[in-house]
Copies of this chain bind each other. A is one copy, B any other.
Amino acid sequence: MSQQYQPIFVFEDTVRIYDTDAQGIVHYAGYYRFFTNATEKFMIEKVGIPFPIVNDEFWFVIVESHATYHKPAKLGDRLTVTLTPKALSKKVIRFEYKISTRGELIVDGYTVHVAINPKIWKSREIPDEILNKIFTP
């Protein structure tokens, strides 16, 4: 199988006062807010589904999160957040993020999402139509 093209989607965000802590920088868990913003905007704008609650029988739940902090972001910083989706299976997607400001990479990380049927809280397949939209550049 040949090398797959990895689409990259780009979002903008801003560091607000409530993202910061007494060290004068963004609190480490606060970067997950920027990851979440990128994912939810991607799903509604590019894929056309609400996220992470798609409907009564289809939710995405997070099974892993990771971030590496290279440099701190500060109050008022304008952030560029890129998102690259990767399929791990028919049921599991991994979103990879890179956050940069003033042209410099400051944080990267990922979240792993499993599709479930919330009525029985069991994993389920993601419809092909949705998978196709997620991985189409």
| Chain A residues close to B by CB (< 8 Å) | 14, 16-18, 20-25, 27-29, 32-33, 36-37, 40, 44, 50-53, 59, 61-70, 72, 74-76, 111, 118
Q: Are B75 and A53 in contact (CB under 8 A)?
A: yes
Please pick, from B22, B23, B29, B118, the residue contacting A29 in the complex, using a CB distance under 8 A.
B29
Q: Are B40 and A17 in contact (CB under 8 A)?
A: yes
Please pick, from B16, B25, B62, the residue contacting A40 in the complex, using a CB distance under 8 A.
B16
Q: Are B66 and A62 in contact (CB under 8 A)?
A: no
Q: Give the dominant DSSP class at A's interface.
A: mixed
The chain B residue sitting closest to A75, CB to CB, is B22
Q: Are B65 and A23 in contact (CB under 8 A)?
A: no
Please pick, from B20, B63, B74, the residue contacting A69 in the complex, using a CB distance under 8 A.
B63
CB of A31, distance to nearest CB on chain B (Å): 9
